[in-house]
Amino acid sequence: QVQLVESGGGLVQPGGSLRLSCAASGSIFDFYTMGWYRQAPGKQRELVAAITSGGSTNYADSVKGRFAISRDNAKNTVYLQMNSLKHEETAVYYCNAHHWNRPDYWGQGTQVTVSS
């Protein structure tokens, strides 16, 4: 069974950067598409970025060019580099593990606050 633990969130000024990490346990990590979602207060959870086991990436239009998702399968870890952060991107960021024929796994979330 996969467990996901996010880290790296915190307070950052607009225009600043953060790198989130998601450490996964379990031997099936390599077969999962890994993703980052975020949920702002009162808002719907949305996909931010995803990366397949083969390294193919997908980004929300709003973060293209500013965020970069990567994974290190040897470390069972997925990262989200976030640059030029905006106030409206304040949210809880969740790590997700997705398999085509298995239930998704979710981390507990890490808070990202973009504020002056």
The secondary element (H helix, E strand) that includes residue 83 is none
Tokens describing residue 60: 């929300």
How confident is the model over 93-114, as pLDDT tens digits? Answer: 999 999 988 899 999 999 999 9
List the one residue out of 5, 18, 2, 25 whose CA is nearest residue 84. 18
Which residue from 111, 102, 93, 87 is spatially nearest to 35, judged by alpha carbons? Answer: 93
Confidence of residue 31 (pLDDT cuts 50, 70, 90): confident
For the chain, give the percent of residues with pLDDT over 70. 97
pLDDT, residue 27, reads 65
Distances from the Cα of 67 to the Cαs of 30, 63, 84, 85, 116, in angstroms? 22, 6, 9, 9, 20
Please write the tens of the pLDDT for every residue from 62-96: 999 999 999 998 889 999 999 999 999 999 999 99
